[in-house]
Amino acid sequence: MRLSTRNQLPGTVVSVTTGEAMAVVKVRLDGGEHITSSITRDAVADLGLAEGSKVTVLVKSTEVALGVED
């Protein structure tokens, strides 16, 4: 996967809390820090996110997005 976003942080999902439309995904970065992202429930399903999923946290300006390898 090639992206223009330069701030790419590898980590592991530690929890996914879903609401009606949105989900809160907590990620433990490889350095031990934690970061939280709010994404849609559809995105959680599309990416197959669950506790233990390896992800790349993408940070751009005021947005935090997640990416996974296919």
Residue 63 has pLDDT above 90, yes or no: no
Asked whether 50 and 66 are in contact (CB, 8 A), the reply is: no
- pLDDT tens digits, residue range 16-34? 999 999 999 999 999 999 9
Domain boundaries, the chain: 7-67
pTM score, two decimals? 0.81
**Fold of the domain spanning 7-67:** OB fold (Dihydrolipoamide Acetyltransferase, E2P) (2.40.50)
Where residue 4 falls among pLDDT bands split at 50, 70, 90? confident
Left (φ > 0), alpha (ψ -120 to 50) or beta: where does 46 sit? alpha
- What length is written for the chain? 70
